[in-house]
Amino acid sequence: MSDAQTKSNKNWWVLFLPLVVFIGLVVFLLKGLGSDPTKLESVLIDKPVPEFSAVDLFNDNIQHTEKVLYDGPLLMNVWATWCPTCRAEHEFLNKLAAQGVPIVGLNYQDDSRAKAIDWLNTLGDPYTVNIFDPEGDVAFEFGVYGAPETYFIDANGKIRYRHVGDVNQRNWENKLQKIYQQLQQESSS
Amino acid sequence: MSLLKGLLGMVTLVFSMALLAQQVTYDGYEFKTAEQRQTYQQLTQELRCPKCQNQNIADSNAPLAGDMRERAYNMVMQGHSKQEVIDHMVARYGNFAHYRPPFNLFTAVLWLAPLFIALVGIAIAIRMSRRRRQTVALSDQEREQLQQLKERSKDD
């Protein structure tokens, strides 16, 4: 066997290097294709709910603090009348509330308080507590960047999951219900 | 005389106030010092609007960007440092909200990939230039042929 031949035998695997790099790139880019760039991971996951103080949507004399979120597990839904997707999910929130899922409502920078109250009076009020946040100060503490957003809060007042976009029958059955049931199991055990 | 002095004083005051106002008003906000204005300006350039895909909060018209500008302004006026404002935003909106991501396990690829690629490139360049410089060894027979060729060209 000549010198050149042993050398090429030794380095045959180098020929596969571009293929390996290519496959790696394909896997990496395919993963990126499936993810929605407008959906942000919340940085508050597994952290206690931030402190806040805000009045009740219906009554100026009632003050709510982060304590209302310690009665979990519960959901906190961020909504406003200017948000069409909130309108779309409202029916389903009513349904969840009827099934006994506690939902705290955070009215986020709404056009007017009267509009928000009118919305709940005509479409039904699925919320156990209604927090009024006209300047978005409470929402800012949660890192809210749009509406609707739904936070899953456990029995210890920790934020465990954030869902961006509407809650509907499909994503509730496929994913969200499991998360909520998990929190329920944790609190009962 | 005192009237003249008073007038002069007034004129000086108006001019200095105009100069001061020019220096410390920016983006519809009033600042006490030029330094505060500069900090605010830097913050709005560096902070990223979470609602938008790729815009800083200075350029974005999104309501959330407006809220963040207001928060940044208030914090600067309360005497918070630039880093404190950044930390405040990142604690709520994540590293997404800052255009200079920190160096950690998740961002290591981001920071190290350019360096790595540059090093690989340099290594390849060095290897290629070395290979080219290697002298080709001639066998005895080839050397003889070369000699013959040289002599033939001399004869021509």
* Interval B42-90: pLDDT, tens: 999 999 999 988 899 999 999 999 999 999 999 999 999 999 999 999 9
Do residues B77 and B16 both lie within one domain?
yes
B142: pLDDT confidence band, cut at 50, 70 and 90? Answer: confident
Do residues B149 and B76 both lie within one domain?
no
Do residues B7 and B63 both lie within one domain?
yes
Which pLDDT belongs to residue B19? 57
Do residues B89 and B49 both lie within one domain?
yes
* Contact: B94, A42; criterion CB under 8 Å: yes
Which pLDDT belongs to residue A130? 97
Within a domain: B133? yes
Query: Which residues span the domain enclosing B88?
Result: 2-97
How near does any CA of chain A get to the CA of B23, in Å?
Answer: 30
Which pLDDT belongs to residue A1? 45
Within a domain: B13? yes
Interface of B with A (CB under 8 A): 50-51, 53, 63-64, 67, 71, 90-94, 96
Facing residue for A136 by CB, picked from B53, B67, B93: B67
Query: Chain A residue with minimal CA distance to B91?
Result: A43
- Structurally, how many domains does chain B consist of? 2
Tokens 């050398």 sit on residue: A7
Is the pLDDT confidence value at A66 over 80?
yes
Residues A59/A129, Cβ–Cβ less than 8 Å: no
Facing residue for B92 by CB, picked from A37, A109, A140: A140
* Interval A141-168: pLDDT, tens: 999 999 999 999 999 999 999 999 999 9
Do residues B23 and B48 both lie within one domain?
yes
* Contact: A42, B50; criterion CB under 8 Å: no
List the beta bridge partners of residue A56.
A131
* Contact: A43, B51; criterion CB under 8 Å: no
What φ, ψ does residue A150 adopt, rounded to 5°? Answer: -130, 125
Do residues B67 and B36 both lie within one domain?
yes
Do residues B88 and B118 both lie within one domain?
no
Do residues B82 and B18 both lie within one domain?
yes
B34-46 and B63-77 are packed helices; what angle lies between their axes, rounded to 10 degrees?
150
* Contact: B94, A41; criterion CB under 8 Å: yes
Domain A47-188 in CATH 3.20.20.70: no
B2: pLDDT confidence band, cut at 50, 70 and 90? Answer: low
* Interval B96-126: pLDDT, tens: 999 988 888 878 888 899 999 999 999 999 9
Do residues B91 and B124 both lie within one domain?
no
Residue of A187, A171, A78 whose CA lies nearest to A130: A78
Facing residue for B93 by CB, picked from A109, A136, A145: A145
Within a domain: B103? no
Which pLDDT belongs to residue B108? 86
Residues A152/A180, Cβ–Cβ less than 8 Å: yes
What ipTM was assigned to the predicted interfaces of this complex? 0.81
In three-state secondary structure terms, A160 is strand
CATH of residue B79's domain is: 1.10.8.640
* Contact: B53, A140; criterion CB under 8 Å: no
Interface of A with B (CB under 8 A): 37-38, 40-44, 109, 136, 140-143, 145-146
Which pLDDT belongs to residue A28? 87
Do residues B116 and B69 both lie within one domain?
no
* Interval A26-64: pLDDT, tens: 998 998 887 887 888 899 999 999 999 999 999 999 999
